[in-house]
Structure 1
Amino acid sequence: MSGVRNITVPWVPLDEFDWSFARTGPLPWNLTVWCLLAVFTSLPIWMTVELTAWVLYAFERWSGIYFWSVLATTWGLTIRAVGFLLKFCVPQANWILTYVLAEVGWVMMVTGFSIVLWSRLHLVISPGTPILRIVLAMIIIDGFLFHVPTVIFQYFMSNAATHEKYLPYMNVMERVQVLAFSVQEAIISSIYIWGTMQMFKLSLNAKAKNTLAFLIIVQVAVVLADIPVIVLDYCNYFTLKAVIHSFIYAFKLQIEFVVLNEFKHLANGGITGVNGSFGRGSDDFTQFHAGPLDIPKGNSTGAYNNSGVSVVVSAGGPPSSRVNRSDSSGTHGRRAEQPDALEAQYLGRYGMAM
């Protein structure tokens, strides 16, 4: 076994372990630390496989901003986790490679998830409302303000020759960016909660009200999930924060599936409690149609939307994924065949495998 090399790393007790940016070189040996690294690296990687399978199966069309942002965020989890795994545990790994993987995965994960949240706002906010453009502008501007300097400082931090020089700058920038992106997600989530509350006021259906209340609670959980990351960063536990960060975003993506699946059931069950469901004929809910990112509805077999999935509603029945538009009786123009507002706007067949 001439190809085997022994790599010795020092053992450090947990109460003396250096979690900060100042530590360089391979991760010191401590059973608790390495177990945490193994668990919170393997979980995001497995969840990436699971989420990818769900996304590819659940979406009828593999296109649209929502579809690609979910997929990019999902794979950003693994790319980032692998980058830090190589950096901490494989001393022979090229430092530029580990840096590129960690930073590219971080950008895909963080800003990708903000795009996911922004895309979902079209469910509860009128497409013509300026707030949608303001939120998108905020995401783009924050990306330049906080991603770019962090990536630059991290490059010099990863290089052993310039590590000490840029350590003070990175210590500050790390805390600024993690708080800034958490606030950004909290703002988008707050707008979503506000929009859901407006739907809550319009609902006469007790079951729909329970669903909307559940969606608000779930969205609050997404906001609270950032607190451990912020606390660890500000307490100078950067290594531990880096290890669990991908898992936190994997958890958020899992919640994203819960939210959209609940909206799917809400659309099927109706929100008004009067006509069973609301459709294009209802003036109160016309705001949920034809968002600015909707795919042109040139295909006669379905109403496409921002998610990349499609749905139509068959005459005289509940929402379904297909309808015969060539009915010679002329019933295709009736209100009963128009898609339910929520499904036509966003969900479609989403959740068919749930």
Structure 2
Amino acid sequence: MATAGDGVSGAYEGDLGTQIAIATFLGIGWYNAIELCVLVFVAFNAYRGLYFWSLLLSAVAGVVPYSVGFLLKFFELMESMWLSVVLLSAGWWVMVTGQSFVLYSRLHLVLRDQRILQRVLYMIIGNVFLLHLPTTILTFGSNSSAKDSFVPAYNIMEKIQMTGFCLQEFIISTLYIWETIKMLKLSPEKGNRRIMYQLLSINLIFILMDLGLLAAAYANLYVYETTLKSTIYSIKLKLEFAVLGKLIHLVNAHSWNPEFSTGPNGFPDFVDASRITSDLTHAPKSKKAPAKPSWMHAYDTPDAAMEVEDLPDRRPSNYTGQSETGGSWSAGTQADAICPNPSSTPGGSPQPLTREAKPEWPS
């Protein structure tokens, strides 16, 4: 278990080799944060959005004060210990939570389930109060005059905090890995697959880094754990900046747009698979139309009208063209009359055939 002399309370009083390692890890974190700050302002056209601000604040207001705070504390570069404790505590809040917000800000590009996205957001905000707040209180207590009462509680809370934040990042990274695997199955383009492989790789690296920090915490290597956090989180931010920024270009090019998620049965989530009764992967076989009656074939050719005209007229001689009700033709009926060839009637005079009075064909 870490003690006051191990750097939990006050300065570090160990060997020179460990002091060199402390300075090296904190210096790497500081350098990466400053470099990332410059890259962010050069790469972004518009300085707005959750991705921009979470990335910038995690580096400038997170990694930098965290590294400076532990440098002042471990090497006792100032008489007052409180400034270093304030810097490292504030930097830890922004560095860890900000890095989670960087991942969250691009998660919607690969995951469209709003319920899951909302729960991830609640998890990040909730862990601020459940993990950051009690650890900060114990950190100030461990560096006060009553440090002997706070150090044992701090050692326990530090492990709980590290476990909680590792689980938080495991969940977010697992969501990225799961959705990336589904994207790889659906996108055949080589350029897109390269971005997806990079996204898959960095999330696997994040998990390995978190496991390393967790192992150092449970091994009571407090000095190495706290200084490695600066290096590891700065590397995480640079990897996220390098890969997550490409996702927006991939989506804008419409190369991958997961508008609907796929269910376990292989169909989109809006499809009820229980109502599917046929094979949707093949077109249905065409069925022949029912055969027409033999008497309809006479009207299928352009010469059908001529055949009707050539038939003899069997209407009675006193036929006047009126209906049985005695009504006269309307203008519409006259317009629809069929006037056969005059030579086809017995008298040689044209007598129109209407649709109301149908001729009786010879049997």
TM-score by length of 1: 0.68
Shift of 1:30: 2.4
- Secondary structure, in 3 states, of the residue corresponding to 1:182? helix
Query: Which residue does the alignment assign to 1:99?
Result: 85
Q: Is 2:56 the partner of 1:74?
A: no
User: Counterparts of 1:57-136 in structure 2 under 5 Å?
Assistant: 57-75=42-60, 76-90=62-76, 92-126=78-112, 129-136=114-121
Q: 1:278·1:285 contact (CA, 8 Å) conserved in 2?
A: no
RMSD, aligned α-carbons: 2.2
Q: 1:40·1:244 contact (CA, 8 Å) conserved in 2?
A: yes
User: Counterparts of 1:176-191 in structure 2 under 5 Å?
Assistant: 176-191=160-175
- Secondary structure, in 3 states, of the residue corresponding to 2:108? helix
Query: Which residue does the alignment assign to 1:345?
Result: none
Shift of 1:93: 3.3
Query: Which residue does the alignment assign to 1:254?
Result: 238
User: Counterparts of 1:1-354 in structure 2 under 5 Å?
Assistant: 20-23=2-5, 24-28=9-13, 30-75=15-60, 76-90=62-76, 92-126=78-112, 129-159=114-144, 161-263=145-247, 266=250, 277-278=254-255, 285-286=258-259
Q: 2:195·2:243 contact (CA, 8 Å) conserved in 1?
A: no
Shift of 1:286: 4.2
| Sequence identity (%) | 35
After superposition, the Cα gap between the structure-2 partners of 1:84 and 1:229, relative to the gap in structure 1 and judged at 3 Å, is same
Cα deviations across residues 275-299 of structure 1 (Å, max 9, x unaligned)?
xx548xxxx64469xxxxxxxxxxx
Structure 2 letter corresponding to 1:20: A
Note the residue ranges of structure 1 that are not aligned, 5 or more in a row.
1-18, 271-276, 289-354
Task: Answer 1 or 2: higher relative contact order, Cα 8 Å, separation at least 6.
Answer: 1
Task: Tell me the number of residue pairs that the alignment of Structure 1 and Structure 2 aligns.
Answer: 257
After superposition, the Cα gap between the structure-2 partners of 1:91 and 1:45, relative to the gap in structure 1 and judged at 3 Å, is closer
- Whole-Å separation in 1 of the counterparts to 2:190 and 2:42: 32
After superposition, the Cα gap between the structure-2 partners of 1:149 and 1:236, relative to the gap in structure 1 and judged at 3 Å, is same
258-267 or 115-124, which moves further after superposition?
Answer: 258-267
- Whole-Å separation in 2 of the counterparts to 1:206 and 1:164: 60
Q: 1:20·1:239 contact (CA, 8 Å) conserved in 2?
A: no
Shift of 1:198: 2.3
Q: 1:84·1:98 contact (CA, 8 Å) conserved in 2?
A: yes
Structure 2 letter corresponding to 1:235: A
Cα deviations across residues 105-139 of structure 1 (Å, max 9, x unaligned)?
0000011111111111011011x521111100011
- Secondary structure, in 3 states, of the residue corresponding to 1:217? helix
For the pair shown, the structure with the greater C-alpha radius of gyration is 2
TM-score by length of 2: 0.66
